[in-house]
């Protein structure tokens, strides 16, 4: 455990090195958040409640979604791709630590740095310029935190599973893009799926993506009653188990036979 904590620590220090990245990221994310806020304000101009959600809740949704996106940072897929392309995966595998344990620890380290560099400023700026993103019902807080933890794990496992494709396909830039778009559009991070037609929404509810963003956000803005939320969290938990099983099954296979380019 201490080994991994050390990796987390070095990764935090690494992330803190580039100052410009931090300001650049905050600026860009602020612009995106503000344009989204105006976008929803413009849409709600002639309507008060659409899909069971009013304008104020939607603005909270946008701010918290921007903040959550910080937690959904993953570098594991690029990391695997790079180490396969450069051949460092061979030496990585010889080290007395688990390969994916290292990648997980690195991502955790980056996220801890990002919490202060990115999430806090975004919440502050959002609170000042758009509205204070208060929670609908404070008693939902434990439920919200639990579902965020599950979301984070689901998101990381999906990224790791995509990353494993690099062991056979080597160059997976395009596949990473596929995943990014799928996640962006199907997770409800930009547009909640309750605005989609019912058939499409039902299909999406069966996929793991909505449980990454939309479920915790719905709990935060208090959409739907508690029973409904808990039912959805059960599906979320089920997906986590399925992805875990997949992860272990595939992990075992791909790491037995590694093809390395260069190195």
- Map tokens 């990473």 to a residue: 176
Among the listed ranges 21-29, 88-96, 117-125, 139-147, the one in contact with another protein (CB under 8 A) is 21-29
Site string for another protein, 168-207 (x = CB under 8 A): xxxxxxxx-xx-xxx--xx---xx---xxx--x-------
For position 47 contacting another protein by CB under 8 A, the verdict is yes
Q: How far apart are CA 104 and CA 216, in angstroms?
A: 22
Residues numbered 110 to 149 that lie near another protein (CB under 8 A) are none
For position 48 contacting another protein by CB under 8 A, the verdict is no
Among the listed ranges 16-24, 94-102, 145-153, 248-256, the one in contact with another protein (CB under 8 A) is 16-24
Name which position in 10, 16, 49, 51 contacts another protein (CB under 8 A): 51
Q: How far apart are CA 144 and CA 141, in angstroms?
A: 5
How many residues belong to the site for another protein (CB under 8 A)?
42
Residue 170: CB minimum distance to another protein, A:
6
Alpha-carbon distances, residue 22 vs 56, 182, 191, 202 (angstroms):
29, 26, 26, 38
How many Cα atoms are found within 13 Å in the side-chain-facing hemisphere of 129?
A: 17
For position 86 contacting another protein by CB under 8 A, the verdict is no
Residue 236: CB minimum distance to another protein, A:
23
Under the rule (CB under 8 A), what is the footprint of another protein? 18, 20-21, 24-25, 28-29, 31-32, 35-36, 38-39, 42-44, 46-47, 50-51, 165, 168-175, 177-178, 180-182, 185-186, 190-191, 195-197, 200
């Amino acid at each position: 455990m201490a080994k991994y904590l050390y990796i987390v620590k070095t990764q935090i220090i690494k992330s803190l090195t580039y100052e410009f990245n931090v300001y650049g990221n905050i600026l860009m994310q602020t612009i995106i958040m503000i344009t989204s806020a105006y976008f929803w304000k413009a849409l709600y101009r002639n309507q008060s409640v659409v899909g069971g959600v009013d304008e104020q809740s939607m603005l909270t949704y946008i701010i918290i979604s921007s903040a959550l996106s910080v937690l959904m940072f993953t570098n594991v897929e690029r990391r695997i791709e790079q180490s396969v392309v450069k051949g460092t995966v061979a030496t990585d595998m010889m080290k007395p630590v688990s390969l994916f344990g290292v990648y997980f620890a690195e991502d955790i380290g980056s996220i801890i740095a990002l919490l202060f560099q990115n999430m806090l400023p975004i919440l502050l700026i959002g609170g000042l310029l758009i509205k204070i993103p208060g929670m609908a019902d404070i008693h939902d807080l434990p439920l919200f935190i639990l579902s965020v933890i599950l979301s984070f794990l689901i998101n990381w496992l999906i990224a790791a599973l995509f990353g494993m494709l690099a062991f056979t396909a080597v160059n997976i830039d395009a596949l990473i893009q596929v995943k990014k778009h799928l996640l962006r559009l199907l997770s409800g991070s930009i547009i909640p799926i309750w605005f989609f037609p019912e058939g499409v929404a039902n299909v999406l509810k069966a996929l793991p993506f909505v449980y990454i963003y939309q479920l915790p956000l719905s709990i935060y803005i208090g959409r739907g009653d508690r029973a409904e939320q808990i039912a959805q969290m059960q599906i979320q938990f089920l997906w986590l188990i399925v992805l875990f099983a997949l992860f272990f099954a595939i992990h075992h296979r791909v790491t037995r036979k590694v093809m390395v380019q260069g190195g």
